[in-house]
Structure 1
């Protein structure tokens, strides 16, 4: 197993061994993602209020599915997109997991905080993904 693949698997294993029914700290993003996007080596916080909010908005997400979503999106993202024009630190981490099915995690990568913080996580369809891509493009074009 290559070093990059081992690093990803080790982080995913830690997610699956975590208890996502309460606040927890997840591993930092992979070295590759940190370098590519100039993120720092910070662990990721999943706060209890986010878990409760997510359970209320997306009650179809079991703890096992939450682990799938967080693992795929954070450690094997296919797209990392800007998430909110008013909140520059918000990034959507998205990975396709099936036909018309993508995992998404909105992560606050605020460098002034001790941890990166998960804002929400769920499943989106392809229309949702394309909408997120258009939003990312608008945000990036405003900066230019």
Structure 2
């Protein structure tokens, strides 16, 4: 059975992505667990662990974005239990990155894990990367 509160959090997360693409990380931060085991692995840096590191990474990443908007959240998979859930999506966005004057199209493969905490459902982990199409095995070799 679908948890209404979890569905609400996922919708809020999608809405927070709009603010994030405009350079505002605050709505996204409000959805995160503030626990020491919260993690974030975004496409522009190494994984962050713990509330303070997650906040720092969200602030730094949002500062690089402006004038953007998500265009699609393509759900690939989802699963939930009473206290844990995950979604895997392809997130498509148009956004100005860094000093660019033109919007770029961005597609990210994103896995988000949610956990029920005392305050309700929270994001406990997110991993996003640009791998949305097949790649040759050589692409994983570090140069």
TM-score w.r.t. length of structure 2: 0.38
Please tell me whether Structure 1 or Structure 2 has the larger radius of gyration of its CA atoms: 2
Higher strand share: 2
TM-score w.r.t. length of structure 1: 0.37
